[in-house]
Chains A and B, each alone.
Chain A
């Protein structure tokens, strides 16, 4: 069974065995507005927990995308590069950003559950 967790930087992460799929939350897309550009990490590169692993830009501004865990990038989602508006449409399913081979599963422990994240998102946007 897969485990889904959330970061304070508004990323979600779904872990299936050693494969982690990462994207940004619906709450993040609502704060950003219309997304018009996405940049993803290089396949085969290694990313470190809390490090920059991509960029999203709305009509207004650019924001970094961070990785909530460390690992090797094994896949990236070209669909969101070709059509960044997909991120606004379906941020937590088809518009994922990248997949990692997770280095240390214990890094998942410090992340938030769905309930915790929803509470956090509500408070941080209040």
Chain B
């Protein structure tokens, strides 16, 4: 299979991107400024992320669609207002996460944003679970651009007037270059921001105008350090088929109204809600400057293995190494002393609260 390019490929090259293959796409890992500067610019001003590799799945048709989707996703879709978004999961029968995703109610159905590496599989799974009754469109004629940071609202409002009135986890249709674009206020950095779904042919001009208004392109490297500081999970690292949302400490994303109802994986989740879980995702802060990356083994003070790190890096804004991982539930309390095995040495660390970096979201209607 040949490597795919997004509609911004030429622009990435123009701005000096180092390109890498990610989920079958040629994507920028960083630009000329480097990961730390890009990270800090997003926190202090605004950063543009090409996330066009992610899946944009539109589902429409039929009065029972909401009901049928609730049999798949543990979200309260009946209560969702048009243009409102929720974070949810596609699970297997064991309650393991097959993908984490954002569901938005649109005027004629739902839009689901899927992880790049999972999107084709998700499409097949959802289609078969819906018994082919609805119209599913994994729309590859659209790019997806995220604009994140405290200045994002001002920059975007200059290019697409009116969008700064959107509330967090809400979307709407806007016009750019006489064509419809769909914008949601959401993101993956711990900052206020937007995701813009736009026709491929308009993407380059749109992004250039964001740059003219002061934003900078940001690569996947800084996207990763930003999301880690914000305590957000990366599918494939922090979430996988053998991990449930409860174990992932994402219980907040499963509304109480759904716990007693049926959906894929509901039996396991109900049981975990009642009896608790064995492992739990936690934040980890090493005492020293040593960085513990994914797969680092975690030990207790008796040298017994109690878990493993799933993501770890140096946090440019917190100016300290940060990590998250799974530990035996009895070690998940904040301030528990643990030890990370890095290059044969046991590095002392503490369980800590997530996020590492305090969020700056613009509050809207949030019911968690």
Contact = CB atoms under 8 A, between A and B. Distances in A.
Interface of A: 33-34, 36-37, 39, 55, 57-62, 81, 85
A116 B296 CA distance: 38
Interface in B192-247: 221, 225
Contact of A33 (B30, B291, B343): B30
Contacts of B35: 33-34, 58-60
Nearest to A57: B291
A20 B343 CA distance: 26
13 contacts: A33-B35, A34-B37, A36-B321, A37-B289, A37-B290, A37-B291, A58-B35, A59-B35, A59-B36, A59-B39, A59-B313, A59-B314, A62-B293
B29 interface: yes
Q: B39, B221, B314: which has the most chain A beta carbons within 10 Å?
A: B314
A60 B37 CA distance: 14
User: What are the 8 tightest A-B residue pairs by CB atom distance, in nearest-first order?
Assistant: A36-B314, A34-B36, A59-B35, A34-B34, A57-B291, A34-B35, A37-B291, A33-B34
B316 interface: yes
Interface of B: 29-30, 34-37, 39, 221, 225, 289-291, 293, 313-314, 316, 321, 343
A26 to B, nearest CB: 14
Contacts of A59: 35-36, 39, 221, 225, 313-314, 316
A55 B291 CA distance: 11
Contacts of A81: 289
- Give the most central of B37, B291, B293, B321: most A CB within 10 Å: B291
A81 B321 CA distance: 14
Contact of A60 (B29, B39, B321): B29
A76 B34 CA distance: 27
Given A37-B314, A60-B29, A55 B343 contact: yes
B221 A36 contact: no
Nearest to B293: A62
Contacts of B37: 34
Nearest to B222: A59
B319 to A, nearest CB: 9
A81 B314 CA distance: 14
Contacts of A55: 343
Contacts of B36: 34, 36, 59, 85
Contacts of A57: 291, 314
Nearest to B319: A36
Contacts of B313: 59
A81 B289 CA distance: 9
